[in-house]
Amino acid sequence: MAVREARTMAVAVPTTRDDLVVALGRATTDTRIIAGGTDLVRSLRVPGDEPDLLISLGGLRGLSYVRLDGATVRVGATTTFTELQHDPVLREHGLCLALAASTIGSAQIRNVGTVGGNIANASPCADSAPALVALGADVTTVDGAGHTATRPLSEVVLGPYHTSLACDEAIVEFSFPALGPTQRTAFTKIGSRTAVTVARLTCAIVARFDAASGILEEVRVGLGAVGAVAFRVPEVEEALRGQRADAEAAALLAEGCVRAIGRSIPDRPTLPYKQHAAVGLAYDTWNALGLCPPCAPAAHDDRPEEVA
Amino acid sequence: MKMSLTVNGTRHEVDVRPTARLIDVLRDELGLTGTKEGCGEGECGACTVLVDGKAVASCLMLALQACGKEVTTVEGLAHGGELSLLQRQFIAHGAVQCGFCTPGMLMSAQALLMENPTPSADEIRTALAGNLCRCTGYSAIIAAIRAASGREADRADGSA
C-alpha cells in the first residue's frame, strides 16, 4: 500500500483488504473515501475543504465483482455502473439494478462511477437506490478495527447525503436474494432528458408471479427521488399481494405510488408534478414487467388531486 | 504528491497536489491542451479521454486514480503526423464548427469503435449522449463516425 504525505493531506491507495483496514484505522471525520469519484471530485475542489486523508479504493481489484453465491447475489462495492449494466449474472438475477445502472449519467460516468459510491454519497436521487431497496439489499462494511458488519440498506442511508457509516467504515459489498424464474423485475426513470440527467422520479418493482393462476404472490416497490431517501411502499405491496396481474393491479400500483409520494413530500412545490408523473411511470414500470398485455391509465387517473 | 502517469504511450512523472484532477495534469503539467474543460461537472463531455480504453470524464477523475493505467488523449489519435481515419472523417463530414467539443466527441467515438467496430446509429447516439455540441448539431458527427466504422464505405477517406 502506498501512503504518501502531501502538505497536510495524506493519501492511501490500499491494494488489499488488510491494507484497507489499516488505512481506515487512520481515518477521522475529515477523511474522505473515493471510489469512482464522479460525485466526490467536485467537492474535493472546494477551497479549505480538503480532507486530512484521502483513501482511494481504486487499487482494490477484489471489490469489483458480481457473483451468485448459492441463492444470494453479491455485488462488490467498486463495481462500476457499466459493469453492472452488462453483467450476465445481474441481468438474470437482479435485472432492475442493471437497468438502473444503464440510466445513470453518460458512458463516461458509468465507466467510472460505482454502486458503493452511489449509496455512500446518499443523494436522494441516486438511481441505484430504489433498485437495491426493491431487491431487499443488505450492505456489508468493514471498519478500521477490521470488523465486518452487514445491515439493511435502509439502515445505512438515513437522509439526503447522510448515512450511518462511521468515518472509518467503508462499504465493501451489497447482497440480495437472487431473483428466480418466477420473479419479474423492472426499473424506470423520469428525468429532464433521456440521458445524463438527474432523476426526477424512479421506480423499481420486483414481483413474484404464478403463471398458472396469473396471481401476484409478492410485490416489492421501490421509489426514488421523491423524498429524503429511496423507500419501499408497503401499502401498495399489501394491496397487490394475491391480486390478479391485470389492468386493475396496475391502477392499484399507480394510485398507491401517488399516495405514497403525497405522504413523502407533502410540502414540496414539485409534489403536483411528481404525482402526475408517477401515474405514467407506475404504468410504464408495470408494463415493463410483461405480466399482462400493456395497459394505460384511465383518464381520471391522470389527475393527481383526485387520488392524492 | 509524486505520481507516474502513462499518457499516449509515454510515461510521465509529475508532482501535483493529491486532489489534482486528471484534466489538470494533462493540460497544466503535460501541456496536452487538446482535452478541453467545459462544464467541469461531467455534463458536457468536452474533457473526455480514454483510461484503459474506456471513455471517462477527466474533470471528474483525480490524476491519482489514473496511476498505473493507460491514458489516451486526442493527441494520441494521430500517428506519425497523420490524422486517424476517425479524425479525417470528422473533417470530411464537416463535423466540426467551433471545435471545442470535438476532442471529446472524438474520444467517445474512439472508445465506441474500439469496443464495437460497426455500431448502429442508435449505438453511436448512446455513446455520445454525454457529449454536448452547441454549434453544429449531431448529424454530421454521427455520419462521420459511421463512415469511420465502414458502415458507409462510399464515404470513406474523405469523399463525403
Residues in chain A: 308
What was the pLDDT predicted at B65?
96
Q: What was the pLDDT predicted at B157?
A: 42
- Whether A135 and A38 map to the same domain: the answer is no
Residue A6 and residue A53 in one domain:
yes
**With a CB-CB cutoff of 8 Å, which residues 146-175 of chain A face chain B?**
none
What 8-state DSSP symbol labels residue A143? E
pLDDT bucket at A38, cuts 50 / 70 / 90 = very high
* Under 8 Å between Cβ of A34 and A43: no
Tell me the C-alpha distance between B52 and B66, whole Å: 9
In this predicted structure, what is the pLDDT of residue A136?
97
B55 close to B111: Cβ distance less than 8 angstroms:
yes
Asked whether the beta carbons of B76 and B8 are under 8 A apart, the reply is yes
Residues A114 and A227 in one domain: no
B interface with A, Cβ–Cβ < 8 A, is: 1-2, 17-19, 21, 40-43, 45, 48, 51, 54-57, 59-62, 64-65, 67, 108, 111, 126-127, 129-131
- B97 CB contacts (<8 Å, ≥6 apart)? B133, B135, B136
Shared-domain flag, residues A216 and A273: yes
Percent of chain A residues topping a pLDDT of 90: 88
Of the three residues A126, A159, A177, the one that is the final residue of a domain is: A177
Name the nearest CA neighbour of A204 among A127, A109, A292.
A127
Residue A239 exposure: Cα atoms within 13 Å on the Cβ side: 16
Q: Does residue B16 carry a pLDDT above 80? A: yes
The whole-angstrom separation of Cα B143 and Cα B160 is 9
Percent residues over pLDDT 70 in chain B: 94
Same domain, yes or no, for A88 and A147?
yes
Q: Is residue A13 pLDDT above 80, yes or no?
A: yes
Q: What is the residue-averaged pLDDT of chain A?
A: 93
The minimum CA-CA distance between B18 and chain A, rounded to whole Å, is 7
Confidence of residue A8 (pLDDT cuts 50, 70, 90): confident
Q: Say which of B60, B65, B126 has its CB closest to residue A56.
A: B65
Is the per-residue pLDDT at A247 higher than 90?
yes
Which residues have C-beta within 8 Å of that of residue B81, sequence separation ≥ 6?
none
Contact A160, A228 (CB under 8 A): yes
Contact A207, A218 (CB under 8 A): yes
Residues A173 and A98 in one domain: yes
Q: What is the CATH number of the domain that holds A235?
A: 3.30.390.50
Q: Is A65 helix (H, G, I), strand (E, B) or coil?
A: coil
- A50 is in which domain, residue-wise? 2-59
Q: How confident is the model at residue A261 (pLDDT cuts 50, 70, 90)?
A: very high
**Predicted pLDDT of residue B160:** 35
Measured CA to CA, the distance from residue B70 to residue B5 in angstroms comes to 8
Which of helix, strand or coil describes residue B120?
Answer: coil
| One domain for residues A123 and A221 | no
Residue A262: what pLDDT? 96
> Can you read off the three cell numbers belonging to residue A234?
408497503
Q: In Å, how far is B71's CA from the nearest CA of chain A?
A: 14
How many Cα atoms occupy the beta-carbon half-sphere of B117 within 13 Å? 2
What pairing do the DSSP bridges indicate for beta strands B10-15 and A183-191? unpaired
Q: Is A94 helix (H, G, I), strand (E, B) or coil?
A: coil
**Three-class SS state of A223:** strand
| Domains in chain B: ranges and CATH | 2-76 (3.10.20.30), 85-158 (1.10.150.120)
Residue pairs between chains A and B whose CB atoms are closer than 8 Å: 90
Going by pLDDT thresholds of 50, 70 and 90, the confidence category of residue B155 is very low
Q: Is the pLDDT of residue A111 over 70?
A: yes
- Euclidean distance between CA atoms A171 and A126, whole angstroms: 16
- pLDDT tens across A147-180, in order? 999 999 999 999 999 999 999 999 999 999 999 9
Alpha-carbon dihedral sign for residues A55, A161, A188, A184: positive
| The pLDDT of residue B136 | 75
Question: Contact A108/B45, CB-based, under 8 Å?
Answer: yes
Query: Which CATH number belongs to the domain containing residue A44 in this structure?
Result: 3.30.43
C-alpha cell at A16: 488489499
Q: Confidence band (pLDDT; 50, 70, 90) for A135? A: very high
Question: Are A160 and A93 part of one and the same domain?
Answer: yes
**Which H or E run includes B49?**
strand B48-51
Predicted confidence at residue A3, as pLDDT, reads: 58
Per residue in A197-235, pLDDT tens? 888 999 999 999 999 999 999 999 999 999 999 999 999
pLDDT at position A308:
42
Distance from CA of B76 to the nearest CA of A (A): 18
> Same domain, yes or no, for A187 and A299?
yes
For residues A261 and B11, give the distance between their C-alpha atoms in angstroms, rounded to a whole number: 53
Mean pLDDT (chain B) is 92
> Residue type for B145, please?
I
Identity of the residue in B17, B21, B57 whose CB atom sits nearest the CB atom of A108: B57
Q: What is the dihedral of CA A110, A112, A118, A123, to 10 degrees?
A: -80
Query: Which of A11, A42, A85, A106 to mutate: most B Cβ within 10 Å?
Result: A106
- pLDDT winner (highest mean) among A3-7, A169-173, B132-136, B148-152: A169-173
Checking if the pLDDT of A4 tops 90, the result is: no
* Position A305 confidence tier, pLDDT thresholds 50, 70, 90: low
Quick one: pLDDT band at residue A46, thresholds 50, 70, 90? confident
Distance, CA of A151 to CA of A131 (rounded, Å): 17
A202 touches chain B (CB under 8 A): no
Say whether both A108 and A194 belong to one domain.
no
Last residue of a domain, one of A128, A153, A177: A177
Residue A198 near chain B (CB below 8 Å): no
List the single best residue of B39, B47, B60 to mutate versus A (max A Cβ within 10 A): B60
- Cα(A287)–Cα(B55) distance, integer angstroms: 33
**Tell me: the pLDDT tens digits for A98-109?**
999 999 999 999
CB contact under 8 A, B18 and A196: no
CATH number of the domain at A170, please: 3.30.465.10
Percent residues over pLDDT 90 in chain B: 91
Give the N- to C-terminal CA distance of chain A in Å, as an integer: 55
Question: How far, in Å, CA of A201 to CA of A285, rounded?
Answer: 12
Nearest to A104 by CA among B60, B115, B136: B60
Assess whether A294 and A263 both reside in one domain.
Answer: yes
The secondary structure of residue A114, as a DSSP letter, is B
pLDDT higher than threshold 60 for residue A5: no
CB contacts, 8 Å: B40 with chain A:
42
Number of domains chain A is built from: 3
A263 with A162, same domain: the answer is no
> CB of A55 within 8 A of CB of A12?
yes
In DSSP terms, which residues pair with A149 in a beta bridge? A141
